[in-house]
């Protein structure tokens, strides 16, 4: 299947490398309004580069397009691609607001094209193992969960491009970094019902937040906390998910949430736990998440099924971020209704 990439920034390299590793995927072209940004891809993969999306779509036989542009541009590009009958893989967040998200999802449904959102952390070996514990009910009733992303993104990172750290095109630590961990919380324990959040811009000269602290009440009764920042000195400090259950306590952590830092589960012997940890530690990254998502799209097209990480999944993670933003802005809890709208509590 022929792939193209729109937007030739840093994240596009992960897509290109992943496509290269998949036997049934072939990168045929890239598109970016800045021709210099395309030079690496044109030279490295011996493909064509286009400064206009319309020209690329008219000149190449393309099955799937990966959208790697600034987040604020996702919706307009995705709708154009859907109308051109191209399947879509879009980087997180799916969009910057729910209206644009609905436009993307509706356009893909109307034109019968498949849509996948890049939430690659789901495919890390340690995350997959934790999901197995939950699917098998080994942790029992869950009481509470927490997610932490305390990383470093210095001012130089934000100064790389004028859109970084803006509310219109990029967002802050919740939208850009912690959204992956919010996706995992939703994947592990279900839909949220209520949120309360405080945020600040403490150290970075950006429009959006560089620190956020939030609380979640899930429909299941589970409570959760989220702590996220890009202000940590001098490098990434931790990324973790902890789940507290009546029959087990599990923490996946490290600088990038790759290992079991704590693993106690009723019925699991010390030897079993040791072997599980040993297996994870052998290859903590596993197959790169982007490769999983791209190969899953190939298989979804072949098998005519929905991708593993859907547009609706991307929408739910975005809704949670927007709920935190609204709560911080209004300094009050926000109730998330079943109609997927936010209402004041």
Write down the pLDDT at residue 211: 98
Q: Is residue 343 a part of any domain in this protein?
A: no
Low-confidence ranges of the chain (pLDDT < 50): 339-345
Q: Dump the DSSP string for 72-116.
A: GGHHHHHHHHHHTT-EEEEESSS-SSHHHHHHHHHHHHHTT--EE
Query: Does one domain contain both 115 and 154?
Result: no
Render pLDDT for 290-322 as a digit per residue (tens, 0 to 9).
999 999 999 999 999 999 999 999 999 999 999
Stated pTM of the model: 0.95
Query: Does one domain contain both 24 and 67?
Result: yes
Query: Does one domain contain both 116 and 127?
Result: no
Q: Is residue 153 a part of any domain in this protein?
A: yes
Query: Does one domain contain both 221 and 72?
Result: no
Q: Dump the DSSP string for 292-322.
A: HHHHHHHHHHHHT---SSBHHHHHHHHHHHH
> Do 327 and 197 touch, CB atoms closer than 8 A?
yes
Q: How far apart are CA 220 and CA 218, in angstroms?
A: 5
Residue with tokens 């097209």: 301
Render pLDDT for 83-141 as a digit per residue (tens, 0 to 9).
999 999 999 999 999 999 999 999 999 999 999 999 999 999 999 999 999 999 999 99
The count of domains in the chain is 2
- Residue 343 three-state SS: strand
**Domain holding 85: CATH number?**
3.40.50.720
Write down the pLDDT at residue 345: 33
**Domain holding 244: CATH number?**
3.30.360.10
> Could you tell me the sign of the dihedral formed by the alpha carbons of 200, 203, 209, 215, in that order?
negative
Query: Does one domain contain both 228 and 281?
Result: yes
Measured CA to CA in angstroms, residue 84 lies from 77, 108, 190, 214, 263 at distances of: 11, 10, 34, 40, 48
Query: Does one domain contain both 175 and 303?
Result: no
Of 251, 173, 175, 185, nearest to 218 (Cα)? 185
Write down the pLDDT at residue 344: 36
Write down the pLDDT at residue 340: 45
List the domain range (segments joined by +) for residue 107: 2-120+290-309
Query: Does one domain contain both 84 and 163?
Result: no
Write down the pLDDT at residue 185: 98
Query: Does one domain contain both 193 and 245?
Result: yes
Q: Is residue 255 a part of any domain in this protein?
A: yes
Write down the pLDDT at residue 314: 98
Measured CA to CA in angstroms, residue 237 lies from 63, 200, 252 at distances of: 40, 19, 14
Task: For 186-338, list the strands marked E by DSSP.
Answer: 192-200, 211-218, 223-229, 238-245, 248-253, 259-265, 334-336
Q: Is residue 336 a part of any domain in this protein?
A: no
Query: Does one domain contain both 55 and 68?
Result: yes
Write down the pLDDT at residue 152: 98
First to last CA, the chain: 48
Residue with tokens 């995705």: 78
> Do 108 and 84 touch, CB atoms closer than 8 A?
no
User: 150 forms bridges with which residues in the sheet?
Assistant: 229, 238
């Amino acid at each position: 299947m022929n792939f193209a990439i729109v937007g030739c920034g840093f994240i596009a390299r992960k897509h290109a490398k992943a496509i290269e590793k998949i036997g049934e995927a072939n990168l045929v072209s890239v598109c970016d309004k800045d021709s210099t940004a395309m030079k690496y891809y044109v030279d490295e993969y011996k493909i064509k580069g286009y400064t206009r999306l319309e020209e690329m779509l008219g000149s190449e036989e393309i099955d799937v397009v990966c959208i790697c542009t600034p987040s604020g541009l996702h919706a307009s590009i995705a709708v154009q691609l859907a109308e051109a009958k191209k399947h879509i893989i879009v980087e997180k967040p799916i969009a910057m607001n729910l209206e644009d998200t609905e436009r993307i999802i509706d356009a893909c449904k109307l034109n019968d094209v498949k849509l996948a959102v890049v939430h690659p952390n789901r495919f890390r070996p340690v995350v997959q193992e934790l999901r197995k514990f939950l699917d098998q009910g080994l942790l029992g009733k869950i009481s509470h969960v927490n997610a932490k992303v305390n990383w470093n993104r210095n001012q130089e990172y934000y100064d790389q491009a004028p859109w970084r750290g803006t509310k219109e095109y990029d967002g802050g630590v919740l939208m850009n970094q912690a959204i992956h961990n919010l996706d995992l919380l939703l994947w592990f324990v279900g839909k949220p019902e209520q949120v309360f959040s405080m945020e600040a811009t403490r150290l970075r000269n950006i429009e959006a937040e560089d620190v956020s602290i939030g609380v979640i009440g899930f429909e299941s009764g589970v409570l959760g906390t989220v702590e996220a920042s890009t202000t940590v000195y001098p490098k990434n400090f931790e990324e973790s998910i902890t789940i507290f259950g009546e029959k087990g306590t599990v923490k996946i952590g490290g600088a990038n949430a790759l290992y079991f830092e704590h693993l106690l589960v009723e019925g699991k012997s010390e030897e079993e736990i040791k072997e599980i940890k040993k297996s994870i530690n052998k290859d903590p990254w596993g197959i790169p998440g982007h490769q999983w998502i791209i190969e899953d799209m190939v298989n979804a097209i072949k098998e005519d099924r929905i991708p593993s990480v859907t547009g609706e999944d991307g929408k739910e993670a975005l809704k949670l971020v927007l709920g935190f933003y609204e709560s911080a802005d209004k300094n009050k809890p926000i109730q998330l209704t079943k109609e997927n709208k936010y209402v004041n509590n």
